[in-house]
Each structure stands twice: as C-alpha cells, then as structure tokens.
C-alpha cells in the first residue's frame, strides 16, 4: 500500500468527512488517495480559507477540522487560520507537504522549516519521517487536537507520501474521561458561594467547547445566579433566560460589565483569559473572589487568582456544585442591566437613518434568523455591535473570533457552518475590509452550491481602527479605501448582489436572500459615527442606573 493511502485510511478511521485545502506538486499523492476515499476534498482558493473552514468546522462539530496545503508558500498561507484556531481553541489538524527528506539539509526549492513555523501556533507539530509511523502520528495528532481543543500540525514529505509499505492498521481511539472534583472541594466552593453577598457567573467558550450549556443553565437556576457571557461564550445560556444579563468583552463599562463590576464573587465557567483579560474586570484592586470551573486549571495571571479551581468535567462539576449550593437572592440591579440591552436593540427597530446604524443592522439580522440559525462574524467594529447586541439562544449560533481575532474568518467560517449544518440559515457578517480578505472563497461556495448570505457593513474604511484612532488621537488616518461595486462583484461570481438604498429595505432583503437558492451578497452602507460610544459614553450612562 502507498503511504498516502495509509494516511487517508487513518483519517477515515478518525471519522474525517471533509478535508479543506489547496493542491501543490508535493501533496498530489495524498490528494489522489483522498480522491479515491469517502472523504470529500473541498478545494479552496486560498489556504487561509481552508484553515478557517477547518477551524469553524472544529468549533461546530467538536471534531478536528482538517486542512491541507503544499509546502513553503502553501504552508505560510495556512498559518493565519491555524493561529486563529490556536488562540480561539478550536480542534484542527493541519497537514502540510514537505520536500523529500534528502533535500531538507540544504537550500532547496520552496523549502522552509515548517515545523519551526507551526510549533508556536499548535499544541503539537510532527514531521513523518517513516511511513510506518503514520498510524501512531495521526492517532496522536487527533487525540491532542481533541483533548487540548487546539490545532496540531503534521508534515508529510513528498517522498514518504509515495513510499510503498506493508500496511499497519490505523489505531483506534481509546475513550478519554475527564476528572470530577472531590466532593470536599465542591462543598467548600459551595460554602464560599453561599457566603458571598453578590455573585455572578462569567461563562466563556469553554462551556460551548465542552457542550456544558445545559449544566450551566441548571446550575445558574438552582443557585439563582445571573450569567454574563464573553463574546465567544454567546449562546452558552439562552439570551431569553431571565438569568442571562448579556455579553462582556468591550474594553468599556458596558451593561453586563457593570454586573461583573458590582459582583463580589465571580464564578468563571469555561472562561479563557485570552478572550478578555482579567485586568479589565478585576483590575489592580484584585478584590474579587474567583471560582474557576474549567477543563483545566487556570492560566497564571496576577489578576486571575481563583480561590477554588474545579478542573475537569465542566458539566459534572457544575451538577455536583448545584446540588449542594444554597439558592441566592438576585439584586434587581442585574435584571435592569439585562433589560437595557434588549431595549437598546428594539429601540432601533424603526430607525430610518441612512446609511444604517449598526444597531438597526443587528436588529434585522436577529429578526431574519431563527433560534438555531448561525451568524459568523468577522473582526471589526461590526463584531463589537454583534457581540453586545445580538441575542444568542443556543450554543454555537454566533461564531466569533476573539482570541486571535483575525479578519477574513467570516466567509470561509460561514461556509464550514453550511457544510456542517446544511438545513440551517447562515449569515457571514463582515466589514468591507474583512470581506475582501476572503472574497475569493465565494467561488468555492458557488462551486459547492452553498447558499448563504454575506452581509457587508460598508463604510469604505477599516472602521474599528478608525474608532481606536479617534479615541486615542481625536483624528483618523490610514484607514480609508475605495470599494468595488459589490453587486457587480457578486454577479461576476454567479452570486446575487443587493445594495441597500434605504433602512426599511434591509429586513425584507435579508429574509428573501436567506430563502434564495443562491449565495447572496448584501451591501449595507453603515453609519459608524456611534462607534466611539462603544468605548466612551456607555459607561457613563450605565452609572446612572
């Protein structure tokens, strides 16, 4: 058997159904083996698109997404999407081709040391130097990707890929179980919660990765504690649960943040420091008592020094804690915070300003989508508006990159969402900057008959950076650009293009676009003049309640 065939057998044995990637001379043996397997190869137009697809596939399925590139330039192109999976903690297996073994010690066409490059953005990176090691290396890669919810990297040299060998069998996965904390520790944590005068739960993406949303809601209900989520924790608790007070993550005193500020105790569940520095919500004073509940013990951070760390199975540890904790009384302040966010969104339902205000766009997106439909946000000012205002009712219905925060994720990410959840509606929401960082993947979507809606917040600028510049320098510079005609661009790809000309048009346009049997690009002129309020005024307003 050819080694590349054995490699693909191992991928099949891991349950891989899609590989996203771009070919190169050095990976055509592997591609030929994939071609004659049950795995579907999704040919993309840029390796970063392939990596973003694998990244979002991993987040949605909790199985590693797989992406593939050639050596050198293919590998370097794939890096951004893989680095995003690293800081956003998505399980992913990245495969790159490599020069033959005998060419690696000297100057050689397209050769760079990819292992060195990938080492710092993966939990594990390995070159296959002997074909018979393939089953062990692939098995180990998938275990690490799942257990650490992280990307891993396998390098397959060209000469190894086409070696013939007497095939070993793929190895089977041994089920791994997570720890459950000793009852003694759980009781102590429960006593601390009962004693604390004011408590809040801060839920992060770890809840979603661990599929612990149900346990979180049960725990919050039995202890009667309000829940704020991070951007990537959106949907960990339904936005219409009376305990959900909204999203934190802006570097400002936004609504839900005030709840965090007021609480004496923070129960951080599945919270990742990478998303939202502890110094923003527990600054210098470091006076909050923290209980950390996650799959692993906490990152060392001087502003995040929990009194208790319950590491292991999040759901089971929450259940045990919920069984012994005393029900608390919630101050009305927390409910007020929650109502204000809802009021802010509905207040823009009839807003006729044109260009549209971001709040109106978010309102219309929410109206057009069902509870379990999916929004994949790109990175920019639009992400902040979506994160704070868009109510998410289920886990993984708002996909946001907030660890690595790479522009360009939304279009390939939304495509991955469509591969995984064919029956759900999907919107890729992006700025005009991020759109053109991944627009080439529209061709991939059309070729694969993927119907989704791409909604562009069009301000002819890198909007978020303008906001930061204005905040710091009271002026803006180096952020303006000119856009192509997005409708014409859409039709040149074979997609539908709609340009919004007045605010009232957006709701119907979105609903129709989501029903279309075609990919649709909606170009929405946006008025970002209120962006600065994301950083300034909100905090002042909130002080008054």
Ligand X SMILES: Cc1ncc(C[n+]2csc(CCOP(=O)(O)OP(=O)(O)O)c2C)c(N)n1
Residues that bind ligand X (CB under 6 A): 378-382, 405-408, 431-434, 457, 459, 461-465
* 3-class DSSP assignment, residue 228: strand
* 3-class DSSP assignment, residue 169: coil
CB atoms within 10 A of CB 172: 9
Q: How far is the CB of 382 from ligand X (least distance, A)?
A: 4
458 forms bridges with which residues in the sheet?
525
120 in Cβ contact with 94 (< 8 Å)? no
Tell me whether residue 153 or residue 461 sits nearer to ligand X (CB atom): 461
Tell me whether residue 157 or residue 525 sits nearer to ligand X (CB atom): 525
Rounded (10°) angle between helices 47-61 and 72-88:
30
Token pair listed for 339 = 């109502």
Residue nearest to ligand X according to CB distances in the complex: 431
Q: CA neighbours within 13 Å on the CB side: how many for 499?
A: 12
Task: Determine the Cα–Cα distance for residues 82 and 211; give it in Å rounded to an integer.
Answer: 22
Q: How far is the CB of 469 from ligand X (least distance, A)?
A: 11
Strands 374-377 and 265-269: unpaired
| H helix or E strand, kind and range, residue 119 | helix 114-119
Tell me whether residue 245 or residue 361 sits nearer to ligand X (CB atom): 361
Q: How far is the CB of 400 from ligand X (least distance, A)?
A: 12
Residues in the chain: 545
Tell me whether residue 135 or residue 433 sits nearer to ligand X (CB atom): 433
Q: How far is the CB of 31 from ligand X (least distance, A)?
A: 28
Q: How far is the CB of 94 from ligand X (least distance, A)?
A: 18
Tell me whether residue 202 or residue 524 sits nearer to ligand X (CB atom): 524
Tell me whether residue 64 or residue 434 sits nearer to ligand X (CB atom): 434
Tell me whether residue 128 or residue 375 sits nearer to ligand X (CB atom): 375
Task: Determine the Cα–Cα distance for residues 522 and 252; give it in Å rounded to an integer.
Answer: 31
Q: How far is the CB of 432 from ligand X (least distance, A)?
A: 5
Q: How far is the CB of 410 from ligand X (least distance, A)?
A: 9
Q: How far is the CB of 452 from ligand X (least distance, A)?
A: 18
Tell me whether residue 131 or residue 453 sits nearer to ligand X (CB atom): 453
Tell me whether residue 185 or residue 471 sits nearer to ligand X (CB atom): 471
Selection from 419, 453, 427 nearest residue 20 by Cα:
419
Selection from 179, 190, 210, 201 nearest residue 320 by Cα:
190
Which residues lie closer than 8 Å to 194 by C-beta, 6 or more apart? 325, 326, 328
* 3-class DSSP assignment, residue 516: coil
Beta strands (DSSP E) in 295-386 are: 308-311, 374-377
Helices (H) and strands (E) in the chain, counts: 23, 18
Selection from 229, 187, 188 nearest residue 208 by Cα:
229
Q: How far is the CB of 409 from ligand X (least distance, A)?
A: 9
């Amino acid at each position: 058997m050819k080694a590349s065939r054995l490699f693909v057998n191992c991928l099949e044995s891991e349950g891989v159904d899609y590989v996203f990637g771009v070919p190169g001379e050095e990976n055509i043996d592997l591609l030929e083996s994939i071609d004659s397997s049950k795995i579907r190869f999704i040919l993309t137009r840029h390796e970063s698109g392939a990596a973003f697809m694998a990244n979002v596939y991993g987040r949605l399925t909790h199985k590693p997404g797989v992406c593939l590139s050639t050596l050198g330039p293919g590998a370097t192109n794939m890096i951004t999407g893989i680095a995003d999976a690293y800081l956003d903690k998505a399980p992913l297996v990245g495969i790159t081709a490599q020069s033959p073994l005998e060419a690696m010690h000297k100057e050689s066409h397209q050769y760079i040391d990819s292992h060195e490059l990938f080492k710092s953005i993966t939990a594990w990176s390995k070159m296959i130097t002997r074909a018979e090691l393939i089953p062990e290396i692939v098995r180990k890669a998938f275990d690490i990707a799942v257990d650490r919810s992280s990307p891993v990297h396998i390098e397959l040299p060209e000469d190894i890929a086409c070696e013939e060998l007497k095939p070993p069998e793929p190895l089977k996965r041994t089920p791994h179980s997570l720890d459950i904390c000793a009852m003694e520790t759980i009781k102590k944590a429960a006593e601390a919660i009962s004693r604390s005068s004011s408590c809040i739960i801060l839920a992060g993406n770890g809840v979603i990765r661990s599929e612990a949303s149900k346990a979180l809601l049960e725990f919050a209900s039995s202890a009667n504690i309000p829940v704020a989520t991070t951007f990537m924790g959106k949907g960990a608790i339904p936005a219409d649960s009376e305990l959900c007070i909204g999203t934190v993550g802006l570097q400002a005193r936004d609504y839900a943040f005030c709840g965090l500020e007021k609480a004496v105790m923070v129960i951080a569940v599945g919270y990742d420091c990478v998303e939202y520095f502890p110094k923003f919500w527990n600054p210098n004073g470091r006076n909050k008592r923290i209980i950390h509940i996650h799959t692993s013990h906490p990152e060392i951070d001087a502003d995040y020094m929990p009194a208790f760390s319950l590491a292991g199975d999040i759901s089971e540890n929450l259940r045990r804690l919920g069984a012994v904790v005393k029900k608390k009384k919630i101050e009305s302040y927390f409910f007020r915070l929650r109502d204000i966010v809802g009021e802010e969104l509905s207040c823009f339902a009839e807003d006729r300003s044109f260009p549209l205000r971001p709040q109106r766009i978010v309102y219309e997106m929410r109206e057009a989508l069902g509870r379990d439909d999916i929004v994949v946000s790109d990175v920019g000012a639009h992400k902040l508006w979506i994160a704070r205002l868009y109510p998410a009712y289920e886990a993984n219905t708002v996909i946001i990159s907030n660890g690595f925060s790479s522009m360009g994720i939304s279009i390939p990410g939304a495509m991955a969402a469509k591969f995984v959840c064919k029956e759900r509606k999907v919107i890729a929401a992006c700025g005009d900057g991020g759109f053109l960082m991944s627009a080439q993947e529209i061709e991939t979507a059309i070729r694969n008959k993927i119907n989704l809606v791409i909604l562009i917040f069009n301000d002819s600028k890198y909007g978020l950076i303008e906001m930061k510049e204005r905040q710091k320098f009271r002026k803006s510079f180096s952020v303006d650009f000119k856009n192509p005609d997005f409708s014409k661009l859409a039709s040149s790809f074979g997609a539908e293009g709609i340009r919004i000309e007045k605010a009232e048009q957006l709701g119907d346009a979105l609903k129709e676009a989501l029903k279309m049997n075609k990919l649709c690009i909606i170009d929405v002129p946006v008025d970002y003049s209120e962006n600065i309020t994301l950083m300034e005024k909100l905090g002042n307003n909130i002080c008054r309640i």
